[in-house]
Amino acid sequence: MVKSNNFIREHTGYFATLVVVVAATLILSLVTNGDGITGQFSLVDLAPKSFTFSVPDNVSLEEASFALDNSREDINILRTANVRTQFVEDALREAETAFEQENYVQVLHLTSLIEHIRKDAIELQDGNELLKRNIHAAEEEGVSMEGFPVMMQSIDEAIYELRLDEGHRLMFRAEAKLDEATRESSRLTRVALLSKNFVVRYWWQIILVLIILAILARPAYRKMHKKMLKRKVAKLKKQMAFNKEMIKSLQRRAFVDANMSTSTYKEKAAAYETKIAEIRHTIPVLEAEIAGKKIGVVKQKKGVIKIADKPGVKENNKKKSSKKK
């Protein structure tokens, strides 16, 4: 038993190779000789999905011979159409072999396939030419052609190779893509046209609205600017109060608690006083702007700012006050 197991393990690779060789030989015989489990292999098995065949009532030598002649004409037409004819030529040779074997049904089946391929290929070519013209016309109208060159090249290759099912599928996708691109281009054109017509038709109303908005925007800006200035003044006042408190704190530390030297006190207090002076200079200017005064010459005397009206403003103010009287 042990010897048999060792024998199997030693020759496992050999058995596997033998199985592969037998399988390959069987497949090769099916392809070359046409003998298979279910019958003979035929090019009809590779026919397009759209191909159908029904056995005619009249199956005879004359009908088979006539069908072979028609298939030769179909192949000549396909050659003229500049497509690859290897498949249909192989189908014709298979039909001629079937004719010699007096299998006239198979002859009619194969010749019907050749006729179907000829009709479908020519129809695809015509549809492809029409599609190219439509694409060119759409491109001249400004439609985006992104992706179309690659798609059209794939359609040309499918038709040349007589891959008819793939050709129909690609053409359907290209036509759908062209319709979508055309609709989108038309929509954008209509939107642009409507926008242009709207401006042309209502130009004076648009100008009037813009003028009104400009008039309303100025008071709104002034109001917003005034609020911003008020917030800034309030912030500066808080800063000034804080600096004053800091000076008081320094005074307590220097003169009451005696834990700070006089020179240090003077140095730090001077810094806070400088900040207070800057704030005192700034607040009157901002408050004058909030009050709506036109600030002219600013006079400074002992840390106090005096807001002077611009030349001519004072006279206007006097005239206004005299009119009120």
* pLDDT tens column, 303-316: 444 455 555 445 55
Give me the residues paired with residue 307 across strands.
Answer: 298
DSSP state of 310: P
Tally of structural domains, the chain? 3
Same domain, 181 and 52: yes
One domain for residues 166 and 278: no
Is residue 201 a part of any domain in this protein?
no
What's residue 96's pLDDT? Answer: 94
CA neighbor of 53 nearest in space, from 118, 109, 116, 111: 109
**pLDDT per residue over 224-279, tens digit each?**
888 888 898 899 889 889 888 888 888 888 888 888 888 888 888 888 889 889 98
Same domain? For 53 and 169 the reply is yes
For residues 76 and 156, membership in a common domain is answered with yes
CA–CA separation, 316 and 325 (whole Å): 15
75 and 99 part of one domain: yes
Is 192 among the domain residues?
no
For the chain, the straight-line distance linking the first and the last C-alpha, in angstroms and rounded, comes to 137
- The larger pLDDT score, comparing residue 216 to residue 72, is at 72
* Ramachandran assignment for 300, one of left (phi > 0), alpha (psi -120 to 50 degrees), beta (any other): beta
- Classify residue 154 as exposed, middle or buried by CB count within 10 Å of its CB (0-12, 13-18, 19+): middle
| 50 and 180 co-located in one domain | yes
**What pLDDT band is residue 35 in, cutting at 50, 70 and 90?**
very low
Whether residues 51 and 165 fall in one domain: yes
| Cβ atoms of 292 and 315 closer than 8 Å | no
Which domain range does residue 255 map to? 232-292
> Which pTM was predicted?
0.48
Judge whether 212 lies within some domain.
no
